[in-house]
Structure 1
């Protein structure tokens, strides 16, 4: 083909048809340019298709991860809500001695001891460069803030853990019997609720009885102690704030999942276009 065009140019020059040669040369250049542009367009189209496939894969992965994160967060929220309700009922028994029942107090105490820390899957798309593949600016913004949002919630979760370990549990050890509290929790199945996988059948070790303490703990001594009331206030205040943060994060997760589902629908629609 190149020899063919060269032969035409040489024939025009030999026949002194310079004007025709010039027009032909310009046309040949245009054909080359058009060919290059078409090749670039095809290459760009292929790259765009590859990026959209990669984006779709990332969106699916993120949707799976945030579905798991939502499930875990809901479980942690339930732990906090149980603790808050238990403290409120203990306050009632503090304020109204006629309502006091040892079995009830033991169970409520068991609900105040756990702490919950949200430990989600965190995909750092920004550092990996994959964030650029996502076209939705709203989604990219929420994903870029996700890590810092999680850290904020975890810090609030650890607030109760510190109070529990350093103040609350030592107080119960000094003024009550943890063995009895634990045994009541075992008998009621309370401990199983805090497993990584709630409802897991492999819980024989948690079902083993440790028995009630032979040391008789007086619930009136505990409930009438002013420091116990103060510790319960710390428990409910700390967990209420942590719960509020967790509920805000839950709303963020739902927003992210809604945007993920919307982007996946858009990609699916485009992939099915003729």
Structure 2
């Protein structure tokens, strides 16, 4: 319709009308571009908000994991301190099997969910956001998770390569672990003879001699130190996750 009007105005040499028609066409095109750009920005904003909502839920889940696992790591460190006190007690009258099992053989790594974080980081609208604080802190989260996991992984390696092999030289693993599990009201992990006791394979005096060695006590101290490092890293991660959570909530308002 506009084109037909332009042709008619050209035929009548009505140049003012031609100019006005041209202006109308240009303005219409500009408005269309603006509408498309606005619609695209709104779509990107909505997509980012959905991604941030998922990330918020994921962070809340991981904070819960930290709160639960930090206590477990603290419990292992506490068992180490309790074991040191026990072996230094001249009136020690039994082998502290559960404490030994906790210190020399227990360990785990935390299972953090990071799928939503990866999704957000792969979104271009996130990198274009004007909220620089939000962008910076979320970008650091992958490294923060790795830092928190590093000491846990090192501890697992030490358990496999050092602590379990060391204690197994002196306390036969089958009998020892069946008795530890019995103390904890769990099913035994190994088969052993009925009625076997730790005294059947190592006497209290033999254990006291082992416990008096510098190596035995140093291994306990080392385990306590690693547990303390793990808890420090987890607390730092929790702090950063809390900051990220607050910024996400602010962005979603």
For Structure 1 versus Structure 2, the TM-score category normalised by the shorter chain is 0.7 to 0.9
- Is 1:10 the equivalent of 2:11? yes
In 2, Cα distance between equivalents of 1:10 and 1:189: 100
Distance 1:66 1:189, change over 3 A: farther
Aligned match of 1:225: 213
- The offset of 1:181, in angstroms, is 4.5
- Is 1:144 the equivalent of 2:139? yes
Q: 1:102 aligns with which of 72, 82, 94?
A: 94
Q: 2:163 aligns with which of 143, 150, 168?
A: 168
Aligned match of 2:84: 91
Listed one character per residue, the Cα deviations across residues 135-167 of structure 1 (whole Å, up to 9, x for unaligned) are: 532222122111122222222212222222222
In 2, Cα distance between equivalents of 1:4 and 1:244: 76
Aligned match of 1:207: 187
Which stretch shows the higher mean deviation, 242-251 or 151-160?
151-160
- The offset of 1:249, in angstroms, is 0.8
In 1, Cα distance between equivalents of 2:24 and 2:86: 91
TM-score (structure 2 length as normaliser): 0.82
Aligned match of 2:107: 115
SS in 2 for 1:117: coil
- The offset of 1:208, in angstroms, is 4.9
Distance 1:135 1:89, change over 3 A: same
Q: Runs of 5+ in structure 1 lacking a partner?
A: 14-20, 191-205, 267-274
Number of equivalences: 240
In 1, Cα distance between equivalents of 2:180 and 2:72: 14
Alpha carbons 1:109, 1:181 under 8 Å: kept: no
- Is 1:263 the equivalent of 2:251? yes
TM-score (structure 1 length as normaliser): 0.77
In 2, Cα distance between equivalents of 1:217 and 1:54: 67
Aligned match of 1:197: none
SS in 2 for 1:175: coil
In 2, Cα distance between equivalents of 1:161 and 1:227: 19
Listed one character per residue, the Cα deviations across residues 162-220 of structure 1 (whole Å, up to 9, x for unaligned) are: 22222211221112244455335434558xxxxxxxxxxxxxxx635756544244242
- Is 1:153 the equivalent of 2:154? no
- Is 1:254 the equivalent of 2:242? yes
Tell me how large the CA RMSD over aligned residues is. 2.5
- The offset of 1:101, in angstroms, is 4.8
